[in-house]
């Protein structure tokens, strides 16, 4: 397990960190990859530019997803499944096929209510394929401003984040860094590998 502290001035560097951690999974280019909060993120275009061709873009805002789609070429848009859903009370995501990669740097950081966190945990465990799937999460670390825009954030240490995802996920690597926004924000990117279910069995798809 490796971690490297550094400062990043932009979302582009955050994408570089995420793609570097993604590369450690050795997933195929057509592996199903899910990005939460995709409407306000530049990660979907980054994935497509890298060559990944089976992306699920999820956001609570249909307008944000539409704006994101308009920035892509027609060929790139065809490589994305656009899903409007709320991870805390998901209506559509539970019906999708299992995925091999779950990426989130938008939703988990602003989930401060225990019921919303439990709903997130349950959906994560349901959707990520046991033994084959991966999870990449970015969260705020303690000591920051505690806000993203007008929303309060839930900070995590790496130990707290491991506890949050639970024993079905094994930490593989993480990066601590400082995002240079209106004020410096200490953040954490962590890569987890999905193990077998707690009972040691594969869940049925």
pLDDT at 13: 78
On the question of pLDDT at 74 being above 60, the answer is yes
- Does residue 80 lie in a domain region? yes
- Does residue 158 lie in a domain region? yes
Q: Are strands 6-8 and 169-180 parallel, antiparallel or unpaired?
A: parallel
CB 99 within 8 A of CB 30: no
User: How sure is the predictor about 197, in pLDDT bands with cuts at 50, 70 and 90?
Assistant: low
On the question of pLDDT at 81 being above 60, the answer is yes
What is the C-alpha separation between 88 and 91, in angstroms, rounded?
Answer: 10
Find how far residue 33's CA is from the centre of its chain.
10
User: How sure is the predictor about 15, in pLDDT bands with cuts at 50, 70 and 90?
Assistant: very high
pTM score > 0.85 for this model? yes
Q: Is the dihedral of CA 25, 26, 31, 34 positive or negative?
A: positive
- Does residue 42 lie in a domain region? yes
pLDDT, tens digit, 9 for 90 and up, residues 87-98: 999 999 999 999
User: How sure is the predictor about 179, in pLDDT bands with cuts at 50, 70 and 90?
Assistant: confident
pLDDT at 38: 94
Q: Which domain holds residue 190?
A: 6-194
pLDDT at 153: 85
User: How sure is the predictor about 70, in pLDDT bands with cuts at 50, 70 and 90?
Assistant: very high
Q: What is the rounded average pLDDT of the residues 48-70?
A: 96
pLDDT at 7: 38
pLDDT, tens digit, 9 for 90 and up, residues 22-40: 999 999 999 999 999 998 8
- Does residue 185 lie in a domain region? yes
- Does residue 108 lie in a domain region? yes
User: How sure is the predictor about 11, in pLDDT bands with cuts at 50, 70 and 90?
Assistant: low
Closest by alpha carbon to 129, among 199, 205, 53?
Answer: 205
- Does residue 200 lie in a domain region? no
Average pLDDT over all residues of the chain: 88
CATH label of the domain that carries residue 147: 3.40.50.150
Q: Give me the number of domains the chain comprises.
A: 1
What is the C-alpha separation between 174 and 181, in angstroms, rounded?
Answer: 21
- Does residue 202 lie in a domain region? no
């Amino acid at each position: 397990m490796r971690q490297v502290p550094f400062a990043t001035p932009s979302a582009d560097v955050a994408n570089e960190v995420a793609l570097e951690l993604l590369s450690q999974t050795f997933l195929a280019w057509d592996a199903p990859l899910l990005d939460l909060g995709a409407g306000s993120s530049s990660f979907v275009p980054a994935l497509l530019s890298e060559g990944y061709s089976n992306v699920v873009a999820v956001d609570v805002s249909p307008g944000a997803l539409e704006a994101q789609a308009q920035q892509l070429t027609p060929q790139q848009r065809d490589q994305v499944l656009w899903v409007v859903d709320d991870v805390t009370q998901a209506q559509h995501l539970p019906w999708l096929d299992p995925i091999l990669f779950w990426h989130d740097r938008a939703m988990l950081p602003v989930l401060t209510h225990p019921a919303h966190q439990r709903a997130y945990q349950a959906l994560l465990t349901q959707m990520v394929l046991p033994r084959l799937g991966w999870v990449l999460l970015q969260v705020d670390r303690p000591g920051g401003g505690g806000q993203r825009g007008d929303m309060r954030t839930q900070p995590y240490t790496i130990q707290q984040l491991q506890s949050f995802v639970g024993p079905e996920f094994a930490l593989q690597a993480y990066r601590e860094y400082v995002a240079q926004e209106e004020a410096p924000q200490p953040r954490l990117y962590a890569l987890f590998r999905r193990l077998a279910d707690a009972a040691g069995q594969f869940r049925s798809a």
